[in-house]
Amino acid sequence: MPESLSVDEFINDTLEDVRDPLKANFISKVSSVRQTVHQLDEGIETDRNVLLKTKKLVKSVITSGTGHADNIISLCDYFEKLGQFALESNEINGNDIAASFCKFSVVHRDLANMSKHLMQNMNSILVFPMETFMQGDIKSDLKKPFERALKEYEYKYDKLRKEKLQLMKETGIFTPEAFTAEMTEDLEKERRKLQLETCEYLIKVNELKAKRSADLLQHLIDFYYAQSHYLRECLGVMDHFGKSMNDLANRVTVLQKIHDAQKRRLVDTREEIRAMLEKETPNTNRKSRLFTQSAQAGVTYAAQPTQVNRAYGTRKSGFLLKKSDGKVKRVWQRRRVRIGDDSRTYNFQAEDDQEYEEWISVLNNAMQEEFQRAMNGDVCSVTPDFQQVSGGAATGRNDHTTGQNTNNSAVNLDCNTSVARYPLGSVAPRDESAGGGSLGDSLPGSEHDLLDSSSPTSRSRGSRSSRLGSADALPTDATQSPTFPTELKGRALRAAIQSGLRWRCPGNAVCADCDRADPEWVSVNLGVLICLECCGAHRELGVHCSRTQSLLMDDLSTNQLLVSAVI
């Protein structure tokens, strides 16, 4: 690959060829001239790409600077509006506030206008010359005339060379000096044209380099002076504004003290009024009261004790809020609810305090009436089915109540009907002077008995099995089930119930399925004792058919044992 020539070398070789063509060796350096032109053309293309990127960046700076100045001017407009509002609203020291806002508006507006003028100078000093340069000489193809002249020279050179070599071969005479002299004389016209086009190309490249380097640097110097002038003007504006800054800071401090004193007086007044209201107004419960369920024995109680009003009676119909079962949109919907002669309980949330008091009074009256009948010896002792009554969500506990979740359907809450009858013997009524709470606390095997157990297994199973079967599946004759001592509690009571279940209940001495003696497993929901082999068959049926527990290994809760005893 031939080496490239510098501009000075090309000039020297060209002048030597013009003055003495026979002694010059320009013909041997034509390939070097071609290589030089190609390298310069690649450099011009690289410069064009760099300048194009530079122009885009400068335009971005101008756009952002102009937008910044416009935003500051808009901010100054709002400063003036704030001052006008302070002046019109008769605020404390409103005149000083308005004057201060206006002063800041004037200062920043001047700075923004000077910034916009600087961006205009940048556009005229830098961007405009770049665009002219990019759209002018650098965009044109400069080497076309050179390539045309080079092509003509090479074509004529190859043609003459072949002719001369053929003639020498025919004559048999070959002299290098004569060959070179003849080629120089015959190619003089094409050689001069090539030298001319090369000079034209190098001149244009020199102009482009001057515009790219020297002229661009001169534009940057001009912009430096414009920017220096802008900064001096900004500094002068800030110095002029800074002379009144100390006085403005003192006035702002005084204004802050005035506002702080006014705020302290308002706070003192508020606290005094609040104290008076707290003395005059009794404490009230929160607007929406929720019901929760005991995790141990399934006993339902209100989240906050409520005074029961017996005047509301034991029956009520009306509308309550029930949370929808939809998974996507869960909303509270109005449902008609009735406390009557059914055994269904729905989750609900009262709309206000009056509704809450009425509903909870009816529920408690119904429960107390049923408990009073049970403790006074009517037929047998009764424990109502306290299902979950919760204000949080209406889900999960109402799977057995089909056809009652649609719109305009009646929802029945019954606390009168007994769904679990426990032959507990005579139970003394609870002293009503004990205050609020569930009457189930006075019965053996209820929530307080379960709290005595430290077993987490009994606690979890107690809440799961607290909802018993329907009343139709229970015996009405109390003589069919053993009577358990009522003075026992906790583990002692469970041991007594388990002993009576295994040894004193008729038919429990053998497996209910295969008649094998001494069964040690119980089907809690069916109320039968089974052996280990039959227990496996029951487990294959699933817990929805038969829920089996071990009398020896599992710590059964009082409710589970009582269910098996009375079924």
Q: Enumerate the H helices of 243-291 as residue ranges.
A: 245-280
In the chain, the number of structural domains is 4
In a domain, 488, yes or no: yes
In a domain, 355, yes or no: yes
* Of 283, 298, 333, the domain-final residue: 283
Question: CA-to-CA distance for 210 and 205, rounded, in angstroms?
Answer: 9
In a domain, residue 2? The reply is no
CB 27 within 8 A of CB 160: no
205's CB contacts (< 8 A; 6+ apart) are 40, 44, 142
**Separation of first and last alpha carbons in the chain:** 110
What residues does 318 pair with on adjacent strands? 337
d(CA 458, CA 445): 12
Whether residue 470 contacts residue 525, with contact meaning beta carbons closer than 8 Å, is answered with no
From 361, 417, 352, select the one nearest 391 (Cα to Cα).
352
Domain annotation covers residue 420: yes
pLDDT at residue 78, as a whole number: 92
Please state the pTM of the whole predicted model.
0.43
Domain co-membership, 265 together with 160: no
Same domain, 428 and 538: no
pLDDT of residue 474: 35
CA distances from 155 to 4, 37, 193, 426 (A): 22, 19, 14, 133
Does any domain span residue 1?
Answer: no
User: Within this chain, do residues 233 and 362 fall inside the same structural domain, yes or no?
Assistant: no
Q: What is the pLDDT at residue 66? A: 93
∠ CA 514-520-522, rounded to 5°: 80
Strand-pairing partners, residue 314, are none
Q: How many CB atoms lie within 10 A of CB 192?
A: 16
Query: Is 222 found in the same domain as 94?
Result: yes
Residue 416 lies in a domain: yes
Q: Are residues 457 and 313 in the same domain?
A: no
User: Are 496 and 521 within one domain?
Assistant: yes
- The residues that bridge with 200 in the sheet, in sequence order, are none
Contact at 8 Å (CB) between 371 and 424? no
Same domain assignment for residues 67 and 191: yes
477 inside domain: yes
pLDDT of res. 113:
94
Q: Which residues contact 186 (CB under 8 A, 6 or more apart)?
A: 156, 160
What CATH code is carried by the domain that includes residue 204? Answer: 1.20.1270.60
Quick one: 269 and 311 in the same domain? no
Residues 70 and 119 in one domain: yes
Q: Is 292 helix (H, G, I), strand (E, B) or coil?
A: strand
Cα separation, 296 vs 79, whole angstroms: 66
pLDDT by 10s per residue, the chain, length 567: 677 778 888 888 888 888 877 777 777 788 888 888 888 888 888 888 888 899 899 999 999 999 999 999 999 999 998 888 888 877 777 788 888 889 899 999 999 999 999 999 999 999 988 888 777 666 567 778 888 888 888 888 888 888 878 877 777 776 666 667 777 777 788 888 888 888 988 888 888 888 888 888 999 999 999 999 999 999 999 999 888 888 888 888 888 898 899 999 999 999 999 888 888 765 444 444 444 333 333 434 444 445 667 777 777 777 777 666 666 666 777 776 767 654 444 455 666 777 777 877 887 777 777 667 766 654 333 333 433 333 333 333 333 333 333 333 333 434 333 333 333 333 333 333 333 333 333 333 333 333 333 333 333 333 333 333 333 333 334 334 444 455 566 677 778 877 777 777 777 888 988 988 888 899 888 888 899 889 989 988 888 888 898 888 887 777 777 777 766
Contacts of 324 (CB under 8 A, 6+ apart): 330, 331, 332, 333, 394
Are both 64 and 131 inside the same structural domain?
A: yes
* Bridge partners of residue 319, in order along the sequence: 336
Look at residues 305, 295, 298 and name the one whose alpha carbon lies nearest to residue 437. Answer: 305
Helix (H), strand (E) counts: the chain: 15, 10
Does residue 489 sit within a domain? yes
Beta carbons within 8 Å of 198's beta carbon, 6+ residues apart = 10, 14, 33, 37, 146, 149
Rg (CA), the chain: 53
As a whole number of angstroms, the distance between CA 161 and CA 182 comes to: 10
Contact assessment for residue 551 and residue 522, using Cβ atoms and an 8 Å cutoff: yes
- Choosing from 254, 283, 312, the residue where a domain stops is 283
538 lies in the same domain as 454: yes
436 and 476 part of one domain: no
Residues 6+ apart with CB under 8 A from 73: 109, 112, 113
What's the domain range around 352?
286-442
On the CB side of 180, CA atoms within 13 Å amount to 11
Q: How far apart are CA 353 and CA 288, in angstroms?
A: 7
**Nearest by Cα to 203 from 40, 80, 368:** 40
**The token pair that represents 301 in the structure block:** 């109680």
Q: Tell me, what DSSP letter sits at residue 124?
A: I
- Whole-angstrom CA distances from 236 to 245, 395, 538 are 15, 74, 97
State which of 442, 466, 486 marks the end of a domain: 442
Contact 322, 291 (CB under 8 A): no
Centre a 10 Å sphere on the Cβ of residue 536 and count the other Cβ atoms it contains.
12
